[in-house]
Structure 1
Amino acid sequence: MNPFAMAAANVHSMWRRFIGLTVLLAVAAAVCVTALGISDRADSAARDRVQEGTANRSVTVDRLMERTDSKPLSTETVRTLSGMPNVTSVEPRAQVSFGYKDQQVPGVLLYATTPRPSLLPPLLKTVRTQLFPLHPGEIVLPKRAQGSDLTPLLGHSITVTTTRSTSAGQGTGVPVSVRVVGLFDPAWQLDGPDAAYADEATVVRWAAAKAGVTESEFTTSVGYDRITVLARTAHDVPGLLSDIQSAGYAATSLQQEMSALPGVLSLIHTAGQVLLVVLGLVALVGALVVTGALSRQRAREIGILKALGFGNRAVLTMFVAETGIIGATGAALGALLGLAGAAAAAAGLRGSSELAPYLPDGIPLPDPGVLAGILLLTLAVTVIGAWVPARRAAQLSPSDAIKEW
């Protein structure tokens, strides 16, 4: 009889004997699939959202007001920075103060700011779905500012007061009509406290009037307050930072303050790989122990097979094939249990606002290659674990096998 056919028949008839090994393999594979599914998706999301996110790819160029030798951040600067290698976008920022008060709002002082496309404020309410880029004369206010609720202003045209320079150190208030088209979370203060967002042309016009220059003079001589330069990848940031500083500009990067981040992300990835190795060793030891016990229990069967003319190779093939069938079954069950575990774990973790952004909407599966590797490794360690006891059993002579029984 064919050893493979006998192996399949043995597994079918003696399935109760193989339950322990099957369960061990299934649990090991399931835990591995679940853990790697979550960690792999979290690792990928962390790299996309953090390491390759806007903050970690950005270089900030500041205008040093207290230094007379500092270069103005002019439109020429924007062109220069845009032409540097590995730059994907250049986002100039200008700010200028304005005031508003009415019967409900006793008075607030806000700062009109040019929005950065790469880092827009978190909107709470808007007059239209696609708010940015803003149209001329539109403004986005914080929901609350300096103790005043600005929610009633949404959708209305209001008159704010800007400043126009009249002489050195002197200015006069100028009423300007703007339309409030959105409200954002006031906790968002990455552009400074009490920031409001208006289109660039409006902000430059107000800033030029306050400085007592024309809009053209403002963008060429006074310049923007800050420029954010986005690199193509996080890896390009150090070189880009060096190029900008070499050109004579004061530049810093958030990546310098987060130097430990790549190591932390690598640690997460390594932890997943270590888990895979540990579970592989568990499956290997389990296969050795369980297969060795089964071989000893079946000594009489081995003796009968050897007496009927089955050679060492045929007996060895049969035992290894049996274990291979069990390994494949355990791996398949483990994959199914792992998918269910990953879905359940992801559903539970999505309840945390801190963890939810790092999990996909569906089941967080490992990459197809990783999943296939887990299943093949489960099968491989099972067969390898069975090889030594199966080889020892196959080498028994018929008389020794029957004696052991």
Structure 2
Amino acid sequence: MSRWSLYTWKRDGRSLRRALPTLTVLAALLTTSAGVAAGAAEAVERDVLGSGGLTQIELSSFEGEESVRPLTTSALQDAENAPGVRQVVADYSSGLYAEEDGTYDLTSHTLTPGDDLPVTKGKVPAELGRSEVVLPAVAQGTDFAPLLGRTVAFGYTKATGAASGTTAVIKLKIVALYDPTWQADGPGVAYLSEDTAALLAAARAGQEPEVFRDKEGAQSATVVVDHQKQVAAATKTLQDDGFSASPVSDRVRNLPGLFGAADLAMRVGVLILALVAIGLGVVRAADSTRARIGQFAILRILGSGRPELRRILLGEAVLSGGVAGVVGVAVGTGVSLALVSPLSDVLGLPIKLTDALPGPGWVAAALLLPALGLAVGTLLGSREVLRRDPYLTARAHS
């Protein structure tokens, strides 16, 4: 780079710094896409796949779909007997509400192996007991922190007729609280053992738990296999047996357009950034050289050769691309961090600020491509103008 590059870049409005705004925007977009994709991938890997999602299969039961096998007791036993299956946990949904203090009304679900709750207080045992419950830290204006570790009376609905019901009471110990922003099953969910969740669902239907589980069945179930390599075979076996079965890892990978769109945006962004930088280099270098042809002609007459003039232009290109890369990475990283909260809501998973930092490879691309592309374009765009005879040029501009 010529020693004159910094001077001409700063002082001459016709220098290559005119390419800086466009390159900055492109570098920022590339960095933002990289940060968003990194944050989403890290959250999914940590909170879904890292918690055993790679070895889990989800069974669903859709009301009214005759082709889908209901998740009754016998059906779940058949699922448990499939090759490679280690455990089947059924999810029954009902509700718990305030019996004494408070006005909350919480949806209840079974705590399945796929629920990796972000616990804020207490500890979730390896297997939740029948008289234990895990609650959100705050729900519907009620702070459950003072009740942690205590046995609390909850109300639940017990049907007594076709259109009537009474309130029954169940006492449960609150063993842990989780971050209420984690809403994989919706807001304000109380997590119970499978037997307790089935008890509440059966009561709401006006049936005994055993009858309810035999006839109505669960709304979904999580199947755990011994190793991830057995997931495909177990899924096919379950589907052949009439179950609606899908690997949890497939569901995660197919999150609505998020990963595919972000990954595509990054790859296309690299290509666009490189091509635009080269194109800008060609156009801006040619325009800048023509606008300063008189100055360059005088420098040629005073002894500066074409290589020296190219070094001046290359210096301006590197400075413009370097500043664009640095500013673009800073702005793109800031935008990515600002999107952490909305992205967490979309995924239903907690994303840390450090998760949303773009990877070093993408940062390097955003930093280097503007300068490299602009430099290549400058070499191409300045050739024709710099070939002109300096004496004829100086005379024409005198």
**Into which bin does the TM-score normalised by the smaller protein fall?**
0.5 to 0.7
Q: Which residue of 2 aligns with 1:334?
A: 324
Unaligned runs of 5+ in 2: 158-166
Of the structure 1 ranges 62-71 and 260-269, higher mean CA displacement relative to structure 2 is found in 62-71
Q: 384-393 or 45-54, which moves further after superposition? A: 45-54
Q: 2:59 aligns with which of 48, 56, 61?
A: 61
Gap change, CA 1:230 and 1:267, over 3 Å in 2:
farther
1:93 to 90, 95, 118: 90
1:116 corresponds to 2:116: no
Residue of structure 1 in register with 2:163 after alignment: none
Q: Distance in 2 between matches of 1:399 and 1:150?
A: 84
What is the alpha-carbon distance in structure 2 between the residues aligned to residue 148 and residue 342 of structure 1?
Answer: 37
Residues 76 and 222 (structure 1), Cα distance of their counterparts in 2 relative to 1, 3 Å cut? farther
3-state secondary structure, aligned to 2:238: helix
Cα distance in 2 for partners of 1:77, 1:52 equals 28
Find out whether 1:41 has 2:30 as its counterpart. Answer: no
Find the counterpart in structure 2 of residue 166 from structure 1: none
Whether the aligned pair in 2 keeps the contact of 1:323 and 1:382 (CA below 8 Å) is: no
What is the match of residue 168 of structure 1? none
Alignment of structure 1 residues 192-271 onto 2, 5 Å:
196-200=190-194, 210-211=208-209, 226-229=220-223, 241-251=235-245, 265-271=259-265
Deviations 1:162-219 (A, max 9, x none): 99xxxxxxxxx99875323356799998769996433346668998x94569xxxx99
Q: Structure 2: how far apart are the matches of 1:131 and 1:329? A: 55
Superposed displacement of residue 112, structure 1: 6.4
Matches within 5 A, 1:335-350: 335-346=325-336, 348-349=338-339
Asked if 1:300 corresponds to 2:298, the answer is yes
**1:292-344 deviation per Cα after TM superposition (whole angstroms, max 9, x unaligned):** 32344322332443xxxx8xxxx332222222222222233223323432354
Partner residue of 1:395?
387
Counterparts of 2:359 and 2:232, CA distance in 1: 31
Q: 1:32 to 1:119 in 2, by over 3 A?
A: same
Quote the offset at 1:400 in angstroms.
3.0
Which of 119, 122, 125 in structure 2 is aligned with 1:129? 122
Match of 1:11 among 5, 13, 19: 5
For residues 358 and 112 of structure 1, the distance between their equivalents in structure 2, rounded to whole angstroms, comes to 21
CA distance in 2, matches of 1:377, 1:97: 56
In structure 1, the partner of 2:25 is 31
CA contact (8 A) 2:132 2:175 kept: yes
1:325 lines up with 2:319 in the alignment: no
Give deviations 1:208-253, integer Å, cap 9, x for gaps: x94569xxxx999998663224799x9x999875442123324368
Percentage identity across paired residues of the two chains:
20
1:377 is the counterpart of 2:369: yes
CA distance in structure 1 between the partners assigned to 2:96 and 2:366 by the alignment? 63
Aligned amino acid, residue 320 of structure 1: R
Which of 70, 82, 85 aligns to 1:80? It is 82
Deviation, 1:382, is: 2.8
Q: Secondary structure at the match of 1:117?
A: coil
1:286 is matched with: 284
Cα distance change of structure 1 residues 269 and 19 upon mapping to structure 2, 3 Å threshold: farther
1:116 maps to a residue whose letter is: T
How far is 1:109 from its partner? 9.9
**Counterpart code for 1:226:** S
Q: Distance in 2 between matches of 1:94 and 1:363?
A: 31
CA distance in 2, matches of 1:298, 1:28: 26
SS in 1 for 2:326: helix
Whether the aligned pair in 2 keeps the contact of 1:51 and 1:261 (CA below 8 Å) is no
Distance 1:131 1:148 in 2: 23
CA RMSD of aligned residues (A): 5.7
Structure 1 residues 79, 347: closer, same or farther in 2, change over 3 A? same
Closer, same or farther in 2 for the Cα pair 1:95/1:285, shift >3 Å?
Answer: same
Q: Deviations over 1:16-69 (max 9, x none)?
A: 555653533443443233221111111333455579985998753246899898
| SS of equivalent residue, structure 2 residue 288 | helix
Residues 138 and 179 in structure 1, CA contact (< 8 A), matched pair in contact too = yes
2:242 match: secondary structure: coil
The answer (yes or no) to whether the contact 1:320–1:387 under 8 Å persists in 2 is yes
Change (3 A) 1:231 1:287: farther
SS of match in other structure, 2:287: helix
Q: Please, which runs of 5 or more residues in structure 1 have no aligned partner?
A: 1-6, 84-88, 164-172
- 1:116 Cα shift? 1.8
CA contact (8 A) 2:150 2:173 kept: yes
1:276 to 2:273 alignment: yes
Larger radius of gyration: 1
Measure, in 2, the Cα distance between the counterparts of 1:162 and 1:304: 94
1 CA distance for matches of 2:152 and 2:7? 84
